[in-house]
Structure 1
Amino acid sequence: MNVTLNPFTWSAEIVKMGDPRTKDYPLVTNPLFVFPLLFLYLYFVKVAGPRWMESRKPFDIVNVVRVYNLFMVTMSVLFLWVALPFTYLPGGHYSLWCQGITGDMTAEMAEYYKMGWIFIACRYADLLDTVFFVLRKKFTHVSNLHVIHHTLVTVNVWFYALFAPEGQPALGLTLNVFVHTIMYSYYFLATFGPQVRKYLWWKKYLTTLQIVQFVIIILHFSVPLFVDCSFPRHLIIIGNAQTLLILCLFINFYLKNYKTGASEKSMKRS
């Protein structure tokens, strides 16, 4: 039996098992990009970054963070502008209830997939959130919830971009982009300091919105477990397991910060 441990070989085999429509996406479906990126991310935000910043002053990068947040809002709005008419708005091609994998590649779908690539790239760019926290020495913001959330989202995005780039996950993806639009809008406004923050009384509802989002995603994603709509059930189980873990972490965060006398604490970005 000829067994090879060459990472390029097994990486190519994994990609070969994926959807042919996305297997050539640059930098997003190849595990040799995704998992080394996550390793570097975890090592920097948990080990190397805090150690490097220990004897340094926080970097003044408020303008960088401001531009970053505005960019993420713009990309999210652009995605919704293209994706919603193709999927769920009147005249769209997706069933809101149960959507399988068609395997089609029309001109319209090609445009949708291009926006899908932007969504994927933005979810990788989300990792910069934590990097900015480290560079600004806001180490309390680098919580387990924050790091686990970003790590699992990155893995999830890679996995479904490769194996199920259409179908039932599309609603959750669209809802997630909507939530990110609101979140990054809040973060952008918060960079302008106390004179603006006093109007951001709704910050705690961001966590509520995220919790509601995950509940909707789990319920909607579970439909093909009970209704045959040509979407692989094992992909649902994998996705829901990850989403359920993130949901539990967010509920725990909410209870600690808003239901135990800590409602006046500054909300940690997660």
Structure 2
Amino acid sequence: MLLWIICLAQELILSTWEGAYNLQCQNLDSAGEADVRVAKVLWWYYFSKAIEFMDTIFFVLRKKNSQITFLHVYHHATMFNIWWCVMNWIPCGQSFFGPTLNSFIHVLMYSYYGLSVIPSMHRYLWWKKYLTQAQLIQFLLTISHTLSAVVKPCGFPFGCLIFQSSYMTTLVILFVNFYLKTYKAKSSKLNTNGSTSSLELKNGFHKDLVNASNGGVHKKHN
């Protein structure tokens, strides 16, 4: 899965670069073959959202109810459906930006969880909360990029831009709430309970973090 996401990120960067995509605003039909190439890559990106959505289904089948959080279900279910719409109506142009950032974030996340299965690496996995911060930065950058096309339009559907920025705003709110409840709460507990909480938070394997990780840090999971 990690290699797949790396290939997606690479192909998105190369195809938009070769198609001379406008970073500020890119319409749906001005880049010719590059638009077709981007659409093909985004189809595979959509397919990855379907795989991520299966996480929730597997949790239900395995009765892992403690891992099924509102953030997890909301994020995966909405992304799967939203990207079905994207691939039907706006499969290129301005749609490239969010997946490019998201692919990069997923490279970091899958790398983290790949390392987490190696016991000797646990002492080095102190940076889990920074993945959530990176996700928040991703959402804010996507909102800024989307609104730039509202301020200076290029022909990309206006309604799609408004929907995208609104949806990303809901993710910012939910992820900020997750971050504050998870990391700030654990930081406060550390101040009162000492070294045990410190170890749990430092290594990123506290049971509450694992349960929420599919919402705040994927697979766990904008």
Question: Matches of residues 73-152 of structure 1 in structure 2 within 5 Å?
Answer: 73-88=2-17, 91-102=18-29, 105-106=32-33, 108-134=34-60, 138-152=64-78
Higher relative contact order (CA 8 A, sep 6+): 2
Tell me which amino acid in the other structure corresponds to 2:49: R
Tell me which amino acid in the other structure corresponds to 2:2: V
**Structure-2 separation of matches of 1:255 and 1:224:** 31
CA contact (8 A) 2:28 2:35 kept: no
Matched, 1:180 2:106: yes
How far off is 1:110 after superposition?
3.2
- Give the gaps of 5 or more residues in structure 1: 1-71
How far off is 1:180 after superposition?
1.2
Number of paired residues?
195
TM-score (normalised: structure 2): 0.79
Counterpart of 2:220 in structure 1 is none
Displaced runs of 4+ in structure 1, greater than 6 A? none
**Structure-2 separation of matches of 1:117 and 1:262:** 44
CA contact (8 A) 2:115 2:121 kept: yes
CA contact (8 A) 1:225 1:233 kept: yes
How far off is 1:191 after superposition?
2.8
Identity of aligned residues (%): 34
**Structure-1 separation of matches of 2:72 and 2:21:** 32
- 1:27-52 Cα offsets, whole Å, 9 max, x none, are xxxxxxxxxxxxxxxxxxxxxxxxxx
CA contact (8 A) 1:152 1:242 kept: no
- 1:122-143 Cα offsets, whole Å, 9 max, x none, are 1110113234444565432211
How far off is 1:74 after superposition?
1.4
Task: Give the root-mean-square deviation of aligned CA atoms.
Answer: 2.1
Matched, 1:202 2:127: yes
Which has the larger helix fraction? 2
Tell me which amino acid in the other structure corresponds to 2:89: F
Matched, 1:211 2:139: no
Q: Which of structures 1 and 2 has the bigger CA Rg?
A: 1
Distance 1:262 1:153, change over 3 A: farther
- Give the gaps of 5 or more residues in structure 2: 191-200, 216-222
